[in-house]
Amino acid sequence: MFSYFEYIFLFLPPVLAVYFFLNHRGYTDAGKIFLFAASLCFYAFWNLIYLPLLLISIAANFGIGRALTNPAGVLLNIPKKAVLAAGICFNVGLLGYFKYSDFFIQNVNSIFGANIGLMKIFVPLGISYYTFLQVAFLVDTYRGKLGENKFLPYALFVSFFPKVSQGPIALQWEMVPQFVDKAKARFNSENFARGMLLMAMGLFKKMVLADNLGIWATQGFDNAQVLPFFEAWFCLLAFSFQIYFDFCGYSDIAIGVGLMFNIRIPDNFLSPYKSLNYQEMWHRWHITLGRFLREYIYIPLGGSRHGEIRTYLNLLITFVIGGLWHGPTWTYVMWGALNGLGLMGHRLWTKTGIRMHWLPAWFFTFMFWNITAIPWRATEYKHVVKLFRGILGLDGVMLPANLEVPFLKSLGITFGPWLVNLGAKQSYYIYLIIASAALIFFAKNSIELSERLKPTMRWALFTALLLGISIIHLTQVSQFIYANF
């Protein structure tokens, strides 16, 4: 929805105008109520039927949070741990019912030969995100990190429209104090300009780069019968760059729109493909999800406090859960397990004390990430096998026909059409991949650029140019990948 014409031109401008008008007139409570109502309208635009579910989730978790801050007075001395357990079960139960019911039924049918009909439940928008952030809220409240909340700031924290559908997974202590800070109720031209720049960069990454890279990835993963060596690697790189620009593009838009309202949403992507080891990769990639997995799953499991074997097991369990969070398929579980193995390998390597030069360190980190992306993108196991066969060269090596030379032919390399459905645009996509690599590996990331912004005509023209190019692409149907989670 963030890349829809209606959002950019018909929703966001009037919401900003009314919100700051109410605050300017001194009606700050009315401003928060209006922003909450606007967030609910944004959510309902996707599917009105699931709006009550969001409201029930907000009300129930707020009540459980209040019970955790004063359980003796509210729940007649029921132990806080029992209140917390009930709250977590409520949230996980909602998520499990709506997102994993059919996955469970499919596996029961497969294992036991049953014929149970699928429920075919439509997954509510953002349920994975608002479930995780409210579980974190309950755990932090139980740990004594948070005091009592007022309902309106809490409801805004959960439903704030820039992040409700796809994150980032912000925490209560990061967001609620900002909603009650009166200084943030006043319009701030510098925040607005930085927000506009971030939104422009995010739209450009999504509409111009990610969506076009996705065309090649789709042809390779879903449509091609076999993938020779070079086609397979270009296809895999196209997808790795697609998800990079798609995910960080969304985060740029969310953080940028938040800044327009003077709300600082936490950073979510900080040039992860520049990482020199796998632990660093997860400190830079989907930062708020990595933080949640670490703080609310890995550490409660025992973290690294109970010996090496237990540590490795905790890492594997944490990332299998993270994989399953992405979607109810075994390919996502495989992706999570591979990432857990990657972190285990990094931990084992650090124990050797051997320091690797930055170039091979970066190369191995990036290549392993690409390999994990295969089950992440593949919709069926046969596609996983096809990509692995391709990148290993088991289905031959072929180059485009216009590159045919006798020397290469003598080496057993064949020549022919690449991904024929791309037609005459094959060269365009190759150039796009090369340009994407240059931006990813050598350019500054969006957060760094926005922090350097000065109120000059040059920055204004740069922002306008990115917005203009992105708006031209708004006519194509587009959805952020993380909206599916």
Dihedral of alpha carbons 378, 380, 386, 391, sign: positive
**What's the rounded Cα separation, in Å, for the pair 213 and 209?**
6
The closest of 188, 169, 177, 160 to 38, measured between CA atoms, is 160
Tell me, yes or no, if 283 is annotated catalytic.
no
Inter-CA distances, 190 with 54, 99, 200, 262, Å: 33, 41, 15, 10
- Give me the pLDDT at residue 17, please: 97
**What's the rounded Cα separation, in Å, for the pair 336 and 343?**
11
- Give me the pLDDT at residue 485, please: 64
Dihedral of alpha carbons 334, 338, 343, 347, sign: positive
Do 260 and 428 touch, CB atoms closer than 8 A? no
**What's the rounded Cα separation, in Å, for the pair 51 and 44?**
6
Do 66 and 59 touch, CB atoms closer than 8 A? no
Can you give the pTM of this predicted structure? 0.92
- Give me the pLDDT at residue 153, please: 95
Do 480 and 214 touch, CB atoms closer than 8 A? no
SS3 readout for the chain: CCCCHHHHHHHHHHHHHHHHHHHHCCCHHHHHHHHHHHHHHHHHHHCHHHHHHHHHHHHHHHHHHHHHHCHHHHHCCCCHHHHHHHHHHHHHHHHHHHHHHHHHHHHHHHHHCCCCCCCCCCCCCCHHHHHHHHHHHHHHHHCCCCCCCCHHHHHHHHHCHHHHCCCCCCCHHHHHHHHHCHHHHCCCHHHHHHHHHHHHHHHHHHHHHHHHHHHHHHHHHHHCCCCCHHHHHHHHHHHHHHHHHHHHHHHHHHHHHHHHCCCCCCCCCCCHHHCCCHHHHHHHCCHHHHHHHHHHHHHHHCCCCCCHHHHHHHHHHHHHHHHHHHCCCHHHHHHHHHHHHHHHHHHHHHHHCCCCCHHHHHHHHHHHHHHHHHHHHCCCHHHHHHHHHHHCCCCCCEEEHHHCCHHHHHCCCEEECCCHHHHHHHHHHHHHHHHHHHHHHHCCCHHHHHHCCCCCHHHHHHHHHHHHHHHHHHHCCCCCHHHHC
- Give me the pLDDT at residue 324, please: 94
**Catalytic residue (choose from 24, 283, 326, 357):** 326
- Residue for token digits 């928060």? 32
- Residue for token digits 């306008």? 464
- Give me the pLDDT at residue 70, please: 77
The 10 Å Cβ neighbour count of residue 478 is: 16
Q: How many degrees, rounded to 5, is the angle at CA 40 between CA 268 and CA 483?
A: 40
- Using CA atoms of 266, 271, 275, 281 in order, give the dihedral in degrees to the nearest 10: 40
- Residue for token digits 């540590």? 311
- Give me the pLDDT at residue 74, please: 53
Do 287 and 248 touch, CB atoms closer than 8 A? no
Do 242 and 409 touch, CB atoms closer than 8 A? no
Dihedral of alpha carbons 45, 48, 53, 57, sign: positive
The closest of 156, 130, 162 to 259, measured between CA atoms, is 162
Residue-wise pLDDT tens digits, 13-36: 999 999 999 999 999 999 999 999
**What's the rounded Cα separation, in Å, for the pair 261 and 188?**
8
- Give me the pLDDT at residue 132, please: 95
Backbone angles phi, psi at 115, to 5 degrees: -135, 50
Q: What is the mean pLDDT of each run of 10 residues along the chain (485 residues)?
A: 74 96 95 97 90 96 91 66 94 95 93 89 91 96 88 96 91 94 93 94 93 88 87 92 94 95 95 96 94 95 90 96 93 95 95 92 96 91 92 83 68 67 66 92 90 83 89 71 67
